[in-house]
Amino acid sequence: MSEQLTFGLPKPKKVLITAMVVVSALWIFFATGINWAGGGVDVFSLLTGSDEILKSGQLWRLLTSFMVHQPSGPGSVGHLLTTLMGLYFLGSSLEESWGPRRFGAFLLISGVFASLLQVVVGLLISNLHQAVFYGGLGVIDAIAIAWGLSFKDRQLRLFFVLPVSGKGFIAFVLVMNVLYILANEVRREGLVSPFGGMLAGYLLADGSPLRRFYLQWKFRRLQSQSESLRGVRAAIVREKKPNPAGLRVIKGGKSDKDLLN
């Protein structure tokens, strides 16, 4: 019988709470500054993704582009809430299952990978190029794919109404992003970063080839360390092993030269 994620609210843990607080705080800071204080646009522009990541080596944009969201204009509040809801409803289960260290690394790696792929593919394919991009959609899609792979037998309510399994949810996310590509509909995050997020989610999720390779490497490393420790213990035991003949050397005795004299 499949599990259902229908009723009840998730209980976020420290990494997820920190991520939501950071995203919300950045949005409030820039929304207040740009809309009510008449400043902050230049700083906001320095945190978004752009071609300058590769052209000028402004690598910090890879880390900040998925943390900032549209601070003003139509759809700005929805842009923020979409990210927060994706983090809250899907990220809670992953952090509880994976632990804070793995989940925190997953958020950062998937965000950076999604932004980098947007820049690289955008420079190679002009139709997919976007001069400025920002927002957490790539990370949310990474969480969605990882959630679907990690909890294949669970069900969630799509749009809070339609029950879908983890596999069905993966298919839904993939189809939606393909439709955006076909329609060439501009999104704040760009058209490529969601696919970068989905790829990162697949590679870093439970059961992926990359995950299996990592676990096998970790197992071999632990096995090697265990064999080394066994060798050290064996050497210590040999040193402490008593003389079977019961003989021992007494220091302070006369040398061979003294006996000859």
What's the pLDDT at 179? Answer: 95
What's the pLDDT at 217? Answer: 74
Q: Facing residues of 163 across strands? A: 157
Query: 52 in a domain, yes or no?
Result: yes
Alpha-carbon gap, residue 48 to 53, rounded angstroms: 10
Minimal CA–CA distance to 72: which of 91, 44, 111?
44
CATH at 168? 1.20.1540.10
Query: 239 in a domain, yes or no?
Result: no
Query: 28 in a domain, yes or no?
Result: yes
Neighbour tally for 191: CB within 10 Å? 23
- The b/e string for 158-189 (b: 16+ C-beta within 10 A; e otherwise) is eeeeeebbbebbbeebbeebeeeeeeeeeebb
Indicate whether 250 pLDDT > 90. Answer: no
Residues of the chain above pLDDT 90, percent: 60
Query: 134 in a domain, yes or no?
Result: yes
Contact status, residue 84 vs residue 151, Cβ threshold 8 Å: no
Query: 252 in a domain, yes or no?
Result: no
Domain count, the chain: 1
Rounded to the nearest 5 percent, the helix, strand and coil shares of the chain are: 65, 5, 30
Query: 222 in a domain, yes or no?
Result: no
Instruction: Tell me the per-residue pLDDT of 18-77, one tens digit each, with 9 for 90 and over.
Output: 999 999 999 999 999 999 998 899 999 999 999 999 889 999 999 999 999 999 999 999
Which residue did the predictor score with more confidence, 197 or 3? 197
Minimal CA–CA distance to 111: which of 137, 87, 83?
137
Which residue did the predictor score with more confidence, 151 or 22? 22
Alpha-carbon gap, residue 235 to 229, rounded angstroms: 10
Contacts of 209 (CB under 8 A, 6+ apart): 203
Range of the domain at 174: 9-212
Query: 248 in a domain, yes or no?
Result: no
User: Mean pLDDT throughout 239-258?
Assistant: 56
Query: 175 in a domain, yes or no?
Result: yes
User: Mean pLDDT throughout 189-207?
Assistant: 94
Q: Which SS3 state, helix, strand or coil, does residue 68 take?
A: coil
Instruction: Tell me the per-residue pLDDT of 91-112, one tens digit each, with 9 for 90 and over.
Output: 999 999 999 999 999 999 999 9
